[in-house]
Amino acid sequence: METAHRVSPAILRNHLAFAPIVPIRLRTRVVPNTLMKKFNEQGLKSRAEQNFELFNALQKDRQGFNTLREMLHRWTGIHLTDGPASQLKMANRLTRVLCRHELRNYQQYAERLRAEKPGDIAEFVSAMTTNTTRFFREGSHFETLRTIMAEVIETKKRDKSHEIRVWCAATSTGEEAYTLAISVNEALHSEPDLKAKILATDIDLSALQRAATGIYSQERLAKLEPSLVRKYFSRCENADGEAHFQVQPQIQKMVHFAPFNLHTNPYPFERGFDIIFCRNVLIYFSQETAQKIIERLTGALNPGGYLFVGHSEVGYVRAAGLKMKEYSIYRKSA
């Protein structure tokens, strides 16, 4: 965690040379309906039709759904509830994956996954996890963070420590991690002797790659205060000439992105964290698994450290040694 680790996505382009197009005269001929029917019977269908048929078939495959649901739980701890809504969700997210690999059903896909190739597992987990996030989501947390940062700064000065350690435990595509970096940087503007390091983790490797670039569309920054956009982002353009914005280097350097599964036991950290954000991810685990995660997060906190969870996740927090400071914000006993 000593330096920020950047992952720049490669941009691949195919350069194709085409021969000159020579116009020719064609005789217009109406294809009889009987011939079109024969084509369809022989399986000459559009890709969209094939995908739609596969999607419908996957929704009805309860046995295959249960097999993949168990695999997802075993590898990630994520609990996908039983029922038609979850079957629809899985079919919706995996239809394109199966089509990409030219697979016809869940059984074939499960057989492919049993080989446990890292790329296949990462693709499966990425397809089945949700990347809903935005800058300054649940904004009241960041208002409270300003007060907490003042307390943390005073504690560091008293203990003659020069580093504040923060963990964003479900960073997704990076908006939350960079929001933390901006908030912490604002709090430290008059504290040159203090530095902050932010660990940003997620189980979704593709989301982490996007996060590490620090590049976001104009729409993603729409609700940010213009002053923050001017201060912490630089305007750039993508390959299509569309306006995008990149996080400033001094903010990117504060953040280290790394893959991590919250289901891991035990957590491998040698040093504790002063602040942990683990928001809007516990809801994807069973009550039992979420409780174990909370206990491990508590263990990863320094005495007097703070844990932030999502507003809808308060019911999962029952770990000994945590006391609610504000709704969905907890402090570990000093």
| pLDDT for position 30 | 44
Task: For the chain, report the end-to-end CA distance as a whole number of angstroms.
Answer: 25
SS3 100: helix
CA angle 202, 8, 167 (to 5 degrees): 30
The one-letter code for the residue type at 198 is I
CA atoms within 13 A on the CB side of 93: 18
Distances (CA, A) of 148 to 192, 304, 307: 18, 11, 11
Query: Which residues of the chain fall below pLDDT 70?
Result: 1-46, 131
Give the model confidence (pLDDT) of 55-107 as tens digits. 888 988 999 999 999 999 888 888 888 888 889 889 988 998 999 999 999 99
- Contact between residue 210 and residue 121 where contact means Cβ atoms under 8 Å apart: no
| pLDDT for position 40 | 52
| pLDDT for position 15 | 25
| pLDDT for position 9 | 37
Q: pTM here?
A: 0.74
DSSP-derived secondary structure letter, 280: S
CA atoms within 13 A on the CB side of 191: 19
| pLDDT for position 132 | 74
* Catalytic annotation, residues: 93, 202
| Domains of the chain and any CATH numbers | 44-128 (1.10.155), 140-332 (3.40.50.150)
The one-letter code for the residue type at 42 is Q
